[in-house]
Amino acid sequence: MHTLLKALLTLVTTLSIHICAHAANENTLKDDPFNPIRIFVIFHDDVPESKRNLTYVDRIRPFVIEFKRITGRDISVVFDRNRPPYTNFNYKSDTPHKMFEEWKKLSWEYKKERHKNNEFLSSRNDRILLITNDYINGSPLMGGIGGLATLPGHSAIASFEQGQAIGHELGHTFNARHDDSEIIYNGWWCETFMFPESFVLRSNCYVFSQANEKRIKAYVDSLY
Ligand SMILES: [Zn+2]
């Protein structure tokens, strides 16, 4: 009898722990339009301090300004560093799409980890961006891949080397695409964020084309 009672109690305890764990997983951020969209920006270990210091002002802020103007929604940027296995992820690859599948899995783990540590409630709208020093393959001078992202989705990798790569890859995660990019002439030629190949004599516009603005707005509005 005593043994049976003990077994029953163990079962009840196990069940209640299981239920609690399930309840914790449900504890996600409500996707309220007033909640900022969170972007976790993870510096790869190979990005030198001098570049890290410039990242927000030179690379991320232009995207944030555009995003707020287009969607009317706020962005909250959370920087992270020195956190293996994310910050030492082997991103250089001759099979970039295979590598990116690995990053997608890892970025999901990252989000889960920060949720479990009670640091952030996870939201389905979070973005996880790895900033690298180098290109995935090739180089800015010889050509190559400066970044990858899900279209649309949550994961992205962008090299610091190309001025618009960060805005470009974040743009993809919010459904912007190459086909709607433009070259704008305003005394000189510049390429909008989503222009797929940069030409050395043109400058960067650090804005989205009107067609991509429409795509981003429609996509973000559909999330709520
Ligand atoms: Zn692209």
pTM to 2 decimals?
0.86
Q: Separation of 17 CA from ligand 1 center, angstroms?
A: 45
Tell me the per-residue pLDDT of 180-205, one tens digit each, with 9 for 90 and over.
999 999 999 999 999 998 888 899 99
Q: How far is the CA of 196 from the centre of ligand 1 (A)?
A: 6
> What are the residue ranges in the chain where pLDDT is below 70?
1-30
**147-158 burial, b for 16+ CB within 10 Å, e for fewer?**
bbbbebebbbbb
Domain locations in the chain as residue ranges: 34-136+143-180+210-222
Burial 90-120 (b: 16+ CB within 10 A, else e): ebebeebeebbeebbebbeebbeebbeeeee
203: β partners: 190
pLDDT in tens, 7-19: 444 433 333 333 3
Longest dimension (CA), the chain: 90
Question: What CATH number belongs to 34-136+143-180+210-222?
Answer: 3.40.390.10
136 C-alpha to ligand 1 centroid (Å): 13
Cα 169–chain centre separation: 8
Taken as a whole, the chain contains a residue count of 224
CA of 178 to the centre of ligand 1 (A): 6
**How far is ligand 1, taken at its centre, from the CA of residue 165, in Å?**
8
Preceding omega of 85 cis (within 30 degrees of 0): yes
Query: Which pLDDT belongs to residue 1?
Result: 44
Q: Ligand 1 mean position to 24 CA, how many Å? A: 36
Expressed in angstroms and rounded, the spacing between residue 87 Cα and the centre of ligand 1 is: 23
Distance 156 CA to ligand 1 centre (A): 11
Measured in Å, residue 112 CA sits from the centre of ligand 1 at: 27
The three-point CA angle 202-205-206 to 5° equals 135
Sign of CA dihedral 128, 104, 154, 29: negative
Report pLDDT for 122.
81
Query: Which amino acid is located at 110 in the chain?
Result: Y
Measured in Å, residue 47 CA sits from the centre of ligand 1 at 22
